[in-house]
Structure 1
Amino acid sequence: MRTIRIGTRDSELALWQANTVKDKLEQLGFSTELVPVKSTGDIILDKPLYELGITGIFTKTLDVAMLAGKVDIAVHSMKDVPTLLPKGIVKAAVLKRAPSEDILVHKGTTDFLEQTGTIATGSLRRKAQWLNKYPTHKVEDLRGNVNTRLQKLKDNPWNGAIFAKAGLERINLTPDNHTVLDWMVPAPAQGAMLVVAMEKDDFTLNALSKLNDEETDICTHIERDFLRTLEGGCTAPIGAIATMANNQIAFTGALFSLDGKQKLMVEKSVAKESFSNFGNICATNLLENGGLEMMKEIRKVLKPKTTNE
């Protein structure tokens, strides 16, 4: 039987995700092999992601490896994946979502929340929402994989740092001293894992279709459509979360100015069977109510050099 070659970044979290897919495929009787690949996003740690000017920086290297025929599939944190995939590469499976929330890892006490404090994050979305809620605080840039960021938090005089709950849980690194930020709107598709494959590789696409979780697939589709319509790329301060219950989908979307002072929200619900254009409708609503002007201001500052969007 043909062996499915799984491309992955070599961080602990990326390898956990790739091994999860490997195990699921092997349980179904498929033969697999892991192929670790280093990405530019892992190598250049001294610049914020938005300064590198590349959306999908963590996925590009694996895309190249796949297009070159070195790997058959790639496993990604879905929130890192540009909304437009490279030509020839398609979504093959979206796995059941883990918790989507952000958490604050802090140093023993949260007294600083009521005073002045310094927290760290490499995400413009998290930074903008934090400053919106805590305008007297400072936000420092924090880059690197999960393990590196936890170490940097220990080594620096910051009060805390923000992480995705799912990322820490997956590799059993969630510290006791953390607070779930249930008020923060997560990144589109946060907590979900995406597997991509080549468009014409029927064998692999058929194998991966068995791993797809319909509810997660639908909810992340809506969130990523919202992101794409706003034309935010992976770095703009945009949050989105869709949840499903009793065949109804509830959606919350948010757009923030870079300094966190301005905030636009949209909250809508729709029947499950009407989900296909729902993200686009929600984004259009936001654009027509001040979002267009805010996105123009954001683009003036960010000015991406190259993009997958």
Structure 2
Amino acid sequence: MSQAPQKRPKRNLSGWLVFSKPYDMSSTEAVGKLRWLYGAKKAGHAGTLDPLATGILPIAFGEATKTVPYVQDGIKLYQFDIVWGSQTSTDDIEGEVIATSDVRPERAALEAVLPRFTGLITQVPPAFSAIRIGGERAYDLARAGETPQMPPREVEIETIEIVSHGPERSRLAVTCAKGTYVRALARDIAEALGTRGHVGALHRARVGEFSDEMAVSLESIEALEGAARDQFLLPVAAGLFDLPEIRLDERQAATIRLGNPVLLTGRDAPVALEEAWASCRGEAVAVGFVEKGQFKPRRVILAGG
């Protein structure tokens, strides 16, 4: 009687992988693939990227999953193409054309309208999105033939610039906060110019401090085996780039890891901080806050994370 093949043991792996997601792979598929390749017990991603989009998808392993919200809050940089003259049901190339226009905007007209889409703006998310409407995902309702009523939301656009412009297609670069739908931005810019448009290509070039220059392709990961792939991982602390750092000694770190607060000493010790992260010898110990001169942990990061 033949024995069933043994399952590969899972690894207690912690750290960040700045993954360069390829075209036509969902974020969930990417997490599953990388979790399998690394043999990790736990993995997640920081910010969904559409299957038809490419670029930065930060992958958290192990203890790094505790820092996912801080990476999700990071500023994003997208490069995207607007295809002029047609609007689709999904606001990208995957959907059916639902409206057309013969108007093709001049570069000067496009430049003139972009200031209306910077700062705090209100946008209506695409019907094909993961937002819940009455407990159901909007894209599930849309695929079932319904027209979900998408509530408008306020989003923040820091900058938006023209990279290239042509009569049929223009490329823009936008720096924005979380929650921004680039597909809705392309649709609304086209409408403001008296035409129709949809996203023809979308690339995320930056999430917080994670950039294209740091990104690792699936081919590069698959070219190595076993623990050799760990060379691509960044420490858990890499996900805490936007928070002030509190440096602790080993005794203080041990106290924090038990879930207890510690008194911060020294001339420059902060008295109050809404959020901060504590480190010991460069390794993340916890995320928490400072109150009355004490660092108080909210999420403890296990040693070796």
Q: Same fold (TM over 0.5)?
A: no
Q: What is the TM-score with the length of structure 2 in the denominator?
A: 0.27
| Higher CA-based Rg | 2
Higher helix share: 1
